[in-house]
Amino acid sequence: MGVPAQRVLRDPDVMASLAHDDAEWAPVGTPLAVVRATTPEEVQAVVAACYRHRVPVVARGAGTGLSGGANAVDGCIVLALDRMDRVLEIDPLERLAVVQPGVVNDDLRAAVAKEGLWYPPDPASAPWSTIGGNVATNAGGLCCVKYGVTRDYVLGLQMVTGTGELVRLGRRTAKGVAGYDLAGLVVGSEGTLGIVTEVTVRLRPLPPPAITVAGYFSSIVDAGRAVAASAAAGLTPAALELVDKHCLAAVDAWKNMGLSVEADVVLLARFDEPGAAGEAAAERMVECFDASGASFAVRSTDEEEAEALFAARRLAYPALERLGPVLTEDVCVPKAQVPEMLARIERTAQRHAITIANIAHAGDGNLHPLLITDHGDEAARRRAQAAFDDIVADALALGGTVTGEHGVGLLKMQGLAAELSPAVLDLHRSVKQALDPRGILNPGKVV
């Protein structure tokens, strides 16, 4: 079975628009063609043909990635999966859903909510990003501090290997240890081990309405201390997000949301424990914020205002992108090191004369410094890239990792080589060789 000719695209402008993700300054090749697949069998046919002819294949979903993981290489086939966008099954008894890779994250959440269920992984790009891309990068999001990341919810998947075999990995049962966890291995592999054509995800009961706590800080380091203090106090919020004044101002200028926060940094915490337990946790978080130097800390009584602040957090990246090129970091450090890492980011901004806005999944140490430059300013671009490298080096020096959820792609390959030993990198390459012996799947990425 092949692919209908009308879904094989060779128009240069169309190919150029589908040849890259949202990573700034990551190299992009020129594809041979773009194929819009609609079934697993079509994906299999494309990969099998590419295997026979030794043609690279780069899969893409919505293209919202920030590491260059979906960028084309010269002479490749870009395999677009966004039209494989059906929710195939929702099983309330087993609390699972089966979806195609092009299903948008928020659309899945809306579909399962009708059954009183919830899919927790919620990257800030959830209104646009697809489940296939979330699986490719092991995406996290706002709720992962308490509920975990994509890998924690993938029970099984269907994929096409680098030799063109259509296989099923994982299970549908609540438990299962038959063989290696190959499904878990594929999650986060960024399309280098197989092309995912179907995903079976675990669901949870829909949580009760959350209690929001907001803390305003005049220092980003004080906000970092509040994050460490809340962890030391044993608090596990459903979300603990950091947004600085650069982000809030950019969102307000774009969306005119009336954000009038008199603070350099805002921490937003949510607790979804019902009743007295949630109330007590919220009060303890206020105490942690106050003890860490907050200029203002309160449990929100205005849910509309709280929602506006969380919406601003989600809109921060696209709002800043309107101002000029934004190079996005994704380092993750131990929670105890969050204050020091934030202090180092501040010093890096000063040293390189670069504006760095900060958003973060602060509760689990996943920081997203956003390095902002002006259009056409080559000197600023070089300074931003040097600052990017310094932030990666600082994260590793503090016991962290180069990527918490955006993936290695092209931008973090040098950082990965610094993080992993040569022996471990060889293990990665051995796994890649086993599943993709001709190296056609997303070549030149990750390792």
What per-residue confidence (pLDDT) applies to 256?
84
**143 and 185, same domain (yes or no):** yes
pLDDT-based confidence at residue 308 (cuts at 50, 70, 90):
confident
Q: What span, in angstroms and rounded, lies between the C-alpha atoms of 358 and 316?
A: 9
- What CATH number has the domain bearing residue 19? 3.30.43.10
What per-residue confidence (pLDDT) applies to 203?
98
What per-residue confidence (pLDDT) applies to 260?
60
Identify the weakest region by mean pLDDT among 187-196, 240-249, 384-393, 419-428. Answer: 240-249
The pLDDT of residue 1 is above 60: no
The number of distinct structural domains making up the chain is 4
**59 and 169, same domain (yes or no):** no
279 occurs within a structural domain: yes
The pLDDT of residue 427 is above 70: yes
**163 and 261, same domain (yes or no):** no
What per-residue confidence (pLDDT) applies to 376?
94
| Domain C-terminal end among 80, 96, 113 | 80
- Residue 267's Cα: distance from chain center in Å? 20
**381 and 430, same domain (yes or no):** yes
441 occurs within a structural domain: no
Q: What tens digit of pLDDT does each residue of 239-296 get?
A: 999 999 899 889 988 988 777 667 889 999 999 999 999 999 999 999 999 999 999 9
Q: What tens digit of pLDDT does each residue of 51-65 get?
A: 999 999 999 999 999
Q: Is the dihedral of CA 220, 411, 394, 141 positive or negative?
A: positive
**109 and 189, same domain (yes or no):** yes
What per-residue confidence (pLDDT) applies to 78?
98
CB under 8 A, 24+ apart: contacts of 121-124: 121/147, 121/148, 121/149, 121/150, 121/152, 121/153, 123/405, 124/313, 124/314, 124/316, 124/317, 124/359
- What CATH number has the domain bearing residue 94? 3.30.465.10
**425 and 335, same domain (yes or no):** yes
**334 and 309, same domain (yes or no):** no
**65 and 118, same domain (yes or no):** no
| Domain C-terminal end among 56, 80, 104 | 80
Q: What is the mean pLDDT of the chain?
A: 95
Q: What span, in angstroms and rounded, lies between the C-alpha atoms of 9 and 443?
A: 21
pLDDT-based confidence at residue 419 (cuts at 50, 70, 90):
very high
| Domain C-terminal end among 80, 110, 129 | 80
What per-residue confidence (pLDDT) applies to 327?
97
The pLDDT of residue 112 is above 60: yes
Q: What tens digit of pLDDT does each residue of 116-144 get?
A: 999 999 999 999 999 999 999 999 999 99
What per-residue confidence (pLDDT) applies to 230?
97
Q: What tens digit of pLDDT does each residue of 340-393 get?
A: 999 999 999 999 999 999 999 999 999 999 999 999 999 999 999 999 999 999
**226 and 155, same domain (yes or no):** no
pTM score: 0.95
Provide the residue count of the chain.
447
What per-residue confidence (pLDDT) applies to 303?
77
Q: For residue 405, what are the domain limits?
A: 324-435
What per-residue confidence (pLDDT) applies to 222?
97
- What CATH number has the domain bearing residue 388? 3.30.70.2740
- The mean per-residue pLDDT over the stretch 74-88 comes to 98
Q: What tens digit of pLDDT does each residue of 153-176 get?
A: 999 999 999 999 999 999 999 999
Q: What span, in angstroms and rounded, lies between the C-alpha atoms of 39 and 21?
A: 23
